């Protein structure tokens, strides 16, 4: 009787353990939600730096236009009147400045193209992963819920089983279960403990013929049973 309940409890506990592991693995898949959030954050960052780079480019273009206007005015002045050394000096400075600004604008345009490319790539990845997540999520949710129900049902079944055991027997089972990581019981094979391989003394076999026996392996302490009789 006690042994039969032990066997059933162990079966239920092993199912519970494997279902719980399955559920943990499923729940781990929900990390994709956080990863998508991080990806959106990166996209926001790229979009904002693109805006900044474009604004910087506009500033450079404005500066360039100013310098070019001034340059053209001075060039006309030079053409119309006699050469003024001060004007000639300013012209040289303005031409340098124009060249510098043109160079900066070019670099800035390259920079913008780079960020645009990064942003497009980021959007492509995000779109792909979001789409696949949207497709997978409902199914995962259902699986998690179903597992939850199965676990609950098993827990109820376990409680029913456990309540049929006298308290000391249940405590013994739970203790062995913890100590031996889910194997409170050991089958007898070739007169040995099937778990720790200890050779079993004759006394063990005598005890096993008594009424409702709960005989433990002298070495590992697991409760012994004949595989064919369980
Ligand atoms: Zn043993």
168 alpha carbon – ligand 1 mean position (Å): 20
81 alpha carbon – ligand 1 mean position (Å): 114
Q: Which of 24, 21, 26 is nearest to 141 (CA)?
A: 26
187 alpha carbon – ligand 1 mean position (Å): 9
209 alpha carbon – ligand 1 mean position (Å): 19
DSSP 68-117: HHHHHHHHHHHHHS---HHHHHHHHHHHHHHHHHHHHHHHHHHHHHHHHH
100-91-81 Cα angle (round to 5): 160
214 alpha carbon – ligand 1 mean position (Å): 14
The pTM score is 0.72
35 alpha carbon – ligand 1 mean position (Å): 47
Q: Which of 156, 107, 123, 131 is nearest to 44 (CA)?
A: 123
Q: How far apart are CA 76 and CA 98, in angstroms?
A: 17
Return the structure tokens found at 212. 């409702």
75 alpha carbon – ligand 1 mean position (Å): 104
159 alpha carbon – ligand 1 mean position (Å): 27
Domains in the chain: ranges and CATH: 2-163 (1.10.287.1490), 167-229 (no CATH)
Q: Which of 182, 201, 181 is nearest to 191 (CA)?
A: 201
pLDDT of residue 81: 78
pLDDT of residue 229: 60
217 alpha carbon – ligand 1 mean position (Å): 5
Q: How far apart are CA 230 and CA 186, in angstroms?
A: 11
In 134-189 the beta strands, taken as DSSP E runs, fall at: 185-189
221 alpha carbon – ligand 1 mean position (Å): 6
Residue numbers in the chain where pLDDT is lower than 50: 230
17 alpha carbon – ligand 1 mean position (Å): 22
223 alpha carbon – ligand 1 mean position (Å): 8
Q: Report how far apart, in Å, the C-alpha atoms of 161 and of each of 3, 10, 12, 97, 115 are.
A: 12, 11, 10, 89, 64
* pLDDT, tens digit (0-9, with 9 covering 90-100), for 131-142: 999 999 999 999
225 alpha carbon – ligand 1 mean position (Å): 11
206 alpha carbon – ligand 1 mean position (Å): 17
pLDDT of residue 114: 97
155 alpha carbon – ligand 1 mean position (Å): 28
11 alpha carbon – ligand 1 mean position (Å): 19
């Amino acid at each position: 009787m006690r042994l039969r309940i032990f066997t059933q409890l162990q079966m239920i506990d092993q199912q519970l353990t494997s279902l719980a592991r399955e559920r943990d693995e499923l729940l781990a898949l929900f990390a994709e939600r956080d990863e998508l959030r991080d990806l959106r954050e990166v996209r926001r960052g790229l979009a904002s730096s693109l805006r900044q780079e474009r604004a910087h480019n506009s500033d450079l273009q404005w500066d360039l236009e100013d310098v070019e206007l001034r340059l053209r005015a001075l060039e006309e002045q030079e053409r119309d009147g006699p050469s003024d050394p001060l004007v000639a000096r300013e012209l040289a400075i303005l031409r340098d400045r124009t060249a510098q600004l043109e160079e900066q604008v070019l670099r800035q345009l390259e920079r913008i193209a780079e960020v645009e490319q990064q942003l497009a790539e980021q959007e492509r990845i995000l779109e792909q992963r979001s789409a696949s997540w949207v497709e997978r999520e409902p199914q995962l949710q259902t699986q998690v819920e179903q597992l939850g129900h199965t676990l609950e049902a098993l827990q109820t079944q376990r409680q029913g089983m456990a309540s049929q055991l006298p308290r000391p027997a249940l405590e013994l089972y739970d203790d062995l279960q913890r100590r031996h990581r889910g194997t409170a019981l050991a089958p007898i094979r070739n007169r040995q403990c099937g778990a720790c391989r200890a050779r079993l003394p004759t006394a063990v076999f005598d005890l096993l013929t008594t009424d409702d026996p709960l005989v433990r392996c002298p070495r590992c302490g697991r409760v012994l049973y004949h595989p064919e009789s369980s």
